[in-house]
Every structure is written in C-alpha cells, then in structure tokens.
C-alpha cells in the first residue's frame, strides 16, 4: 500500500511498540511522536514549528470546506486502508463541489495499545495518498483514548479546496432532462470490506475502488461542460446518492438497472451475502448530472481518465411531478429505488 513512501520509521518503535496514553498527553512522548513520525511524513507540520494552527495563502477567496471521520473496520483491506480512505474521502467531497483540493487536516483518535507499526503503516498510506491526490497535510491533532474505548485508529480529515470557476455545483441546479452519468462499476469498496471482515475467500479478492476524483473533475470543468451536480457514491451507495439529490432538487430520477455497471465477481458476492450492489458503498465512484448536449463530451473525457474508464449514462432527470428514484429493472418492470431505512453495512468508511 505504501510503495512510494515507506522509509524506515524515524520514531523509535522498538522503545514504544504500542501507543500509550501519554502519546496524547501533551508532554515529551507526544512531542516525540509528532516530531519523529508525523512531521517526517508531512513536511509543512514541521516548518512552522508545530504551532496551534497553520497560516496558508490561498490562490483564491472562493473555497470549498468539508470534514469526514473514518471508522472503517478492518483498518486494512484489499485496495487500501483507513489512511487512503481518509485522504480520498475528503478529497472527493471537495471535488464534488468542483473545487481543486489543496489542504487537509489530520486528526487521529488512537486506542491505547495500538501497535506503533500499524500507525506508521497508516501514516505512510496517508502520505502516499495525499501525494497522489495532489493535496498537502498541513495541520494535525493526536488524541489517545483508553484501551476498550476505541478501535485501533479513528481518523478525521477536513479539507480546503479552491473553486476556480463560476459554476454552482449543487443539487438545486439539477434540471429536468439532465442526464445521469456514472463513472464506473459500483459495489466494490463495500464488498471488499465485508469480505475481509468476514474472512470470506472469494475466488479473486475484490479490491476497493478507493481513489481520488479531483483530477478527473477538474478536467471536466476545464472542458466547459455544463455540470449541474456531482455526488460520490459512499455510504448508502448509488441508490442513496440519487435519492438525496432527487429530494434536494425536488425532481424525479429514472435509471435503468441494465445500464448500471456491476462487476461479475461483485454481483456474485452481493448475491451470496444478500446485498444489493446499488446500496453498497464505493470510495472512487461518482455520478454527474449534466445537460444532455454535453453527454458525448463528458463521456469522452471520463473514459480517457483512470477514474472514469467505465463511465456510462444510466438514466435521466424527469419532470417535477415526482420526487423519487425509479429504476427500470432488467426484466422491464419499474421499481421504486427507495433510500435504505436501516443499516446495510456499518463502519464501511
């Protein structure tokens, strides 16, 4: 997971093989952890002399701001870990506003007794994911809770991006007639997590789709496409994202099941486990609501990008008469695609 950034840890893990309460206590041990481990990985933290906050000169005054906490279980899974998730999750939330992601904060809540090399591995993943996404970790915080009051590592990342265009990318700008384009196949992240959690051995390991979406989104914006709204398909999956937008835009959305890409192994795993792939979380997939005349241009740009190779149109926005999501099933029947009411799969991100 950390091929590009994985130096030997300058923090003396042999002296402190596990996280102690004192590593969050504000004294020498915390200072050592920050200086030797975090500041090594994340340069800017050290340059300002570990002050309470960091001063930044932004390239513009219009920004996007977001926050996300990550409590995924297990910490490591095929295709990523809590560190890659914590970077990409927040980067993608910024990208969904059409912002160029720039800066992340990093807040750890560590459980006493966490193996220090697990923390280092996650720190390396964060560094690598941040480099890939083109963002910088600029400020951080570390808390340690008593053994039994956490679950290894919880991470919060908050992000700042700059908005360099005049589009207003929010649900309320979605229009009747807009096309719904999806960036690729759905259901992989959730099934990768559940397979790891339950120690299921599918023939080939399903790996998470976890990836940063900022680069692709900026290409679409630069191409002057008329994007009305975007949403990444995390908790609750495609079905929940579409319902949220239908509800916020006071419009109906109609999609076709046969058009939604689901990988064969994911579909099989979903069938075995009793999950509907349309409700399973993804971490590198999104939908775009776009004016119909821009469909071809959007698809062309997306399919050339690693994060949009499987892009396709799955449906359209209907008149104001209905505020719901209707799916034409593979056998031709129309089915109401409702928001999930209970909990399909907890602690997925």
Report d(CA 257, CA 246) in Å as an integer: 17
First to last CA, the chain: 17
Per-residue mark of binding to a copy of itself, 95-134 (x: CB under 8 A): -xx-x---x-xxxxx-------------------------
The Cα-based distances of 194 to 58, 152, 231, 316, 349 in angstroms read 40, 18, 23, 31, 12
Q: Does 277 bind a copy of itself (CB under 8 A)?
A: no
Name the residue among 42, 174, 20, 21 with its Cα closest to residue 103. 42
Find the binder of a copy of itself among 14, 15, 51, 331 (CB under 8 A): 51
Question: Closer to a copy of itself at the Cβ: 134 or 303?
Answer: 134
Contact letters (x/-) for a copy of itself, 224-243, by CB under 8 A? -------xx-xxxx--x---
Binding-residue pattern over the window 161 to 200 for a copy of itself, x denoting contact by CB under 8 A = x-x----x-xxx----------------------------
Q: Encoding tokens for residue 335?
A: 């089915």
Task: Note whether 43 binds a copy of itself by CB under 8 A.
Answer: no
Q: Does 274 bind a copy of itself (CB under 8 A)?
A: no
Of 13, 71, 268, 273, the one binding a copy of itself (CB under 8 A) is: 71
User: DSSP for 200-244?
Assistant: ---SSPPPP-----HHHHHHHHHTT--EEEEEE--TTHHHHHHHH
Q: Number of residues interacting with a copy of itself: please give it, by CB under 8 A.
A: 90
Q: Is the dihedral of CA 74, 76, 81, 83 positive or negative?
A: positive
Smallest gap from Cβ 77 to a copy of itself, in A, equals 17
Compute the least distance from the CB of residue 264 to a copy of itself, in Å.
25
Considering only 124-132, 136-144, 193-201, 316-324, which stretch makes contact with a copy of itself by CB under 8 A?
A: 136-144
Where on the phi/psi map is residue 140: left (φ > 0), alpha (ψ -120 to 50), or beta? beta
Interface with a copy of itself includes 57 (CB under 8 A)?
yes
């Amino acid at each position: 997971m950390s091929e590009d950034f994985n130096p030997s840890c300058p923090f003396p893990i042999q002296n402190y093989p596990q996280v102690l309460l004192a590593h969050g206590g504000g004294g020498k041990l915390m200072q050592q952890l920050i200086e030797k481990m975090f500041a090594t990985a994340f340069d800017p933290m050290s340059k300002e002399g570990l002050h309470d906050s960091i001063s930044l000169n932004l390239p513009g005054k219009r920004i996007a701001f977001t926050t996300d906490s990550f409590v995924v279980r297990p910490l490591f899974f095929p295709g990523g870990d809590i560190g890659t998730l914590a970077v990409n999750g927040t980067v993608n939330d910024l990208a969904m506003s059409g912002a160029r992601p720039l800066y992340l904060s990093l807040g750890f809540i560590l459980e006493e007794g966490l193996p220090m090399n697990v923390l280092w591995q996650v720190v390396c993943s964060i560094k690598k994911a941040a480099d890939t996404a083109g963002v910088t970790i600029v400020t951080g915080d570390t808390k340690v809770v008593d053994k039994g009051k956490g679950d290894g590592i919880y991470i919060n990342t908050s992000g700042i991006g700059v908005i360099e265009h005049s589009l207003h990318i929010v649900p309320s700008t979605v229009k009747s007639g807009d096309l719904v384009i999806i960036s690729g196949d759905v259901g992989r992240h959730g099934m990768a997590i559940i397979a790891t959690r339950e120690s299921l051995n599918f023939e080939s390991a399903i790996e998470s789709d976890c990836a940063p979406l900022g680069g692709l989104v900026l290409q679409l914006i630069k191409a002057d496409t008329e994007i009305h709204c975007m949403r990444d398909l995390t908790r609750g999956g495609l079905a929940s994202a579409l319902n949220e937008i239908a509800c916020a835009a006071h419009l109906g959305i109609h999609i076709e099941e046969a058009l939604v890409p689901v990988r064969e192994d994911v579909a099989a795993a979903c069938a075995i486990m009793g999950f509907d792939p349309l409700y399973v979380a993804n971490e590198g997939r999104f939908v775009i609501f776009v004016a119909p005349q821009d469909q071809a241009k959007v698809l062309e740009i997306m399919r050339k990008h690693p994060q949009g190779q499987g892009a396709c149109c799955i449906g359209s926005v209907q008149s104001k008469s209905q505020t719901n999501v209707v799916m034409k099933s593979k056998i031709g029947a129309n089915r109401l695609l409702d928001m999930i009411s209970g909990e399909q799969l907890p602690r997925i991100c």
